[in-house]
Structure 1
Amino acid sequence: MRIGIIGIGRMGRVLAVKLAEVAELTLYDVNTDRLAKVAAATGAKVGASLEEAALGDAVILALPDREVIDCLKDFNQIRRSPITVINVATNVAQSVLEHTAAPHVHCISAKFISQAGEMAAGARPVIIVHDTPEELVPLATEIFSHVGDVLTGNSDVVTTINTVAAEKAIEAAVLIEESLRMKGFSNPAIAKSAVGQVAAGIVKAYATDNLGPFAREIVYSVKKKLHPGR
């Protein structure tokens, strides 16, 4: 299978590493130094243009939200049919892709309930492949099954899921910092270690059902406070 990846930032780099073993990759990025390093590390081909990156069976847009639409408009000007585009930008809705793309540019979304840093460290994410257009679902599912656990449905819900998770995580981090400061622990290194190691480690252990006795007692106490009648 031939796959192009446009955008070799944090997510694009992760996808290149994971897909290099199962596909013939062509990478494209305006940052040529970054592009050359990732291509050398993965054995992928460096694309000379957007059009060259889109010559394969599918091209993945691993771009910031604001750049996805501009890229689609560039594809609209390429008179080669069809071009199959898979968008992974969380905040670009499927309807926006379909409204922007020309008839020869076929778009589907595959969105990650994850974070690029965690994926780079080996985490296997849940990925929601949009359920339309139906003819693109098998291809997107096959590609991303090498990256994570694929579900089919409304990929736009990932925006809400990731936003809730991010907001609550940041709220918890800020609360930890403020609580420690109120108890007299003003050294920033202490707060960073408490948030980055203690809190982050416990959250991961909670997610994988691997908590120790100390943390399980805290979970019980927290749930009793949240749901006193249960």
Structure 2
Amino acid sequence: MLYTCIIALCFFIVLIGLFLTLYHLKQSTKNNNTEQPKFSLQYPYAWLIQESPSLIITTAFYHFSADSQTDYGAYLNGLLVLHYTYRCLIYPFMVDWKCRNSLFSVAFAFQFSVWNGLAQCAWNSFFQPEWAEKTDTENWLNALGVLMFLLGLFTHIIADIQLVHHRRVSCSCTIPKRFLFSLVTSPQYFGECLQWIGYFLAATSPPALAFALFTICNFAPRARNIHRWHCSVEEGNRKALIPFVL
């Protein structure tokens, strides 16, 4: 029964990703409208609320599923705790307090965080085999995935810091020009895509695959729109999402 529910959640996650792809593809340019939503929350509170389920769920599974999860499953849940500690407790207080997010977006993201957190952690706690039980090829693949996860996490944290700092000191609609910003318009999205593809290689589970696909579906078209908008206001040779490629 639990296995069936997790697989159903995986299809749900992918469907949401496809929906977001269609939504973003309809946006030919980045929305530069400064008008705030009528019903909204300041960015820090919005991010804190919408990401809190992921942190609570991953932390709970990490600490209270010791009897059922393998050591490797606990390790994967620990990676999730690491990511969502940053995303929930650090990043919200870096962003601009003047910006606001609509209550609908917050509610949508909150609900998604619940379902995705449950799918990832339930699989890691009840269905993830021990590292020693895998073949050498699987172990190397998992190790590569962990490395990609950490590299992607580092990339999007540094990109977040640069972007937040740039917006505070610059009144223009330009983007930074150092680090990966010299190569791509949205290195923060590149870092997240790299991170969750790496997590899929580390976990090799249906929920991890679903979330990796969701991340690509969500961020790739957004990076395309942002790149087109920035190309219309300033020149540059940077790519949209993947350095030297796309």
Larger helix fraction of residues: 2
Scaled by the length of structure 1, the TM-score of the pair is 0.32
Larger strand fraction of residues: 1
Scaled by the length of structure 2, the TM-score of the pair is 0.30
